[in-house]
Amino acid sequence: MRALLALFVCWLAGAVTASGQILLTAETGGAGNQAVTVAANRLAPSDSGRLANLWAQYGYGLTDRVDVFALYGNVTVFGETQHYGGVGSNIALIGRHAHGLDVSFANNLTLPLTRHDQASTALLTIALVASRPFTIRSLVITPYGGLSALVPVGQRSAGVFTPPETTRTGVAGIVIPLRPTVSAYAEYDAGPSLRSAGVGLTLILK
């Protein structure tokens, strides 16, 4: 089950998720495991209106060290909504059993399904994530952290739904298990030109 995390690691030259948030830990789910995540977050760019983002993601454990994802979401700003779809992965780099914490490289690439003229051609998200679970009484929780950035690809000038330039943020979040197969996420991201806060639920299918 994907839960449990702690820390923050190094600076990246670029990325955050298409949703503007990571909402995952550095611990991968394992080969053959499946999970569904639904989330909502609010983004506050420094130079435009507030964006509301809703998204859903299906994850599959390709190997013990690599999870792959397919996602759908929609972003609303100034009363207008854009729909998007994408793919991504979470690749384990360091395991806590050998090094004291989990570290992974998370990424996704999304494409606009509507309002193409008001967004970049694609939006790349890359992030370095670190986490480690710990137990408070009988409850195992996972704080996590990292660095990320949203990287617009192709067209950038009409960035209503996507940023006109690379946007970097620091990430801080926590995962709390609600049931054996359900975990709740809460995350806050902040950078020079973007802040966002959001919550999500992950259901383990297998």
Domains identified in the chain, total number: 1
Residue 188 included in any domain: yes
Residue 41 included in any domain: yes
Average pLDDT over residues 65-71: 97
* More reliable by pLDDT, 50 or 178: 178
- How far is the C-alpha of 94 from the C-alpha of 144, rounded, in Å? 14
Residue 137 included in any domain: yes
pLDDT of 120 over the 60 cut = yes
Residue 133 included in any domain: yes
Q: Which of 76-80, 168-172, 196-200 has the lowest mean pLDDT?
A: 76-80
pLDDT of 87 over the 70 cut = yes
Q: Determine the structural domain holding residue 99 and report its residue range.
A: 34-204
Q: What is the CATH number of the domain that holds 193?
A: 2.40.160
Residue 83 included in any domain: yes
pLDDT of 198 over the 90 cut = yes
- How far is the C-alpha of 30 from the C-alpha of 74, rounded, in Å? 29
Q: Which of 5-19, 29-43, 88-102, 126-140 has the lowest mean pLDDT?
A: 5-19
Residue 77 included in any domain: yes
- Per-residue b/e over 90-108, b at no fewer than 16 CB within 10 Å? bbbeebbeeeebbbbbbbb
Q: Model-level pTM?
A: 0.86
* More reliable by pLDDT, 14 or 88: 88
Average pLDDT over residues 4-9: 29
Sequence-distant (≥ 6) Cβ neighbours of residue 61 within 8 angstroms: 28, 29, 30, 31, 32, 33, 34, 67
Query: In whole numbers, what is the pLDDT of the chain averaged over residues?
Result: 87
Q: Which of 20-29, 93-102, 150-159 has the lowest mean pLDDT?
A: 150-159
Residue 196 included in any domain: yes
Contact 86, 109 (CB under 8 A): yes
Residue 16 included in any domain: no
